[in-house]
Amino acid sequence: MGLQGKLLSLGLEGEYTWHPTRFAEMLERVPALRDLQIYSLDGIDLLPKPAQLHLESFSVGDHLDVDLLAQLIGTSCGSLNHLSLVGFGLGQSFDFTHYTNLTSLSLTTPLSHLGKEDLRLLLTSVSSIPSLHSAAFFSLLGRREPLLSHLEHLRILHLLPPTLHELIQTDWMPFSTSYLLSAFADERCLPALKHIELSCGVLEGGEHVQYRPREELEQIKRAADARGIKIVWSEPWEDLGSAYAYDFEEQGDFI
């Protein structure tokens, strides 16, 4: 088996069209692998047979079906610590109940294309992780992505795992001040949370973002302080220019 059998980390960059059998054979030659990073899984719908790996970290830069995900990480239930997925949540859910060591999750998804049912399935998947400590939600289209008013209607913060300590890259989600205040006032909502990134903007009329008045920022900060939660506010969004009166040079006063 040689050195391949002792390989612990493997990163596959570039856009390849894989042959499922050859890809599966490659994974068979690296049984000691602990860290697998794949840019693209183009050409692979399913493997001829599940991979027999005990990964600690798995990252993929391309959309993959949940059945293929199960084949790649199915034997890593007790070892997987970090998972990074792109395009996950399009009409799919995955049961992470048995991934007892999974503490870090990064999801990049086209949220503007997710309907309420897609979002429900996505949150069901995330909430099934029993020991999640850190979660990051990235938008495929960045901050210029059309904003979703139904994110708040789903009470997304209330649906995330209670074990979360850190919630990052959520600053593009323009939760209303009233929802944030109610979430922080509810000690059942994210009881272990210590760090959260939030937007200084708030959705108005279901489409446009306006900056929160300074007094609302202070209200949110006081509510978070009462729970021992540190807030990191987003920088001003470029398309809003200088319309906002909040001086970000004084941001330290709000963290």
Encode pLDDT of 91-132 as tens digits.
778 999 999 999 999 988 766 566 778 878 888 899 999 999
Higher-pLDDT residue of 189, 91: 189
The pTM assigned to this predicted structure is: 0.85
pLDDT for res 200 = 85
| pLDDT confidence tier of residue 55, bands split at 50, 70 and 90 | very high
For residue 251, pLDDT over 70 is answered with: no
| pLDDT confidence tier of residue 171, bands split at 50, 70 and 90 | low
For residue 246, pLDDT over 50 is answered with: no
Mean pLDDT of 61-80: 92
pLDDT for res 20 = 87
pLDDT for res 70 = 95
For residue 203, pLDDT over 60 is answered with: yes
SS3 244: coil
Encode pLDDT of 74-91 as tens digits.
999 999 999 999 877 667
Q: Which two tokens stand for residue 67?
A: 């059945």
What is the full DSSP assignment across the chain?
-GGGGG--EEEE-S-----HHHHHHHHHT-TT--EEEES--TT-S--SS------SEEEESS---HHHHHHHHGGGTTT--EEEEESTTSS-----TT-TT--EEEEEE-GGG--HHHHHHHHHHHHT-TT--EEEEEETTGGGSPP-THHHHTTHHHHS-TT-SEEES-TTS---HHHHHHHHH-TTSSTT--EEEE-SEEEETTTEEEEPPHHHHHHHHHHHHHHT-EEEEPPPPGGGTT-----GGGGGGG-
Q: Which bin fits 249, alpha (ψ -120 to 50), beta or left (φ > 0)? A: alpha
Query: What is the percent of the chain with per-residue pLDDT over 90, rounded to a whole number?
Result: 48
CA 90 remoteness from chain centre: 14
pLDDT for res 225 = 97
Q: Which two tokens stand for residue 46?
A: 């399913």
The CA-based angle 166-103-29, given to 5 degrees, is 140
For residue 65, pLDDT over 80 is answered with: yes
Flag the least confident range among 91-95, 120-124, 150-154, 244-248: 244-248
Flag the least confident range among 9-23, 60-74, 123-137, 216-230: 9-23
CA distance 76 to 56: 7
pLDDT for res 253 = 42
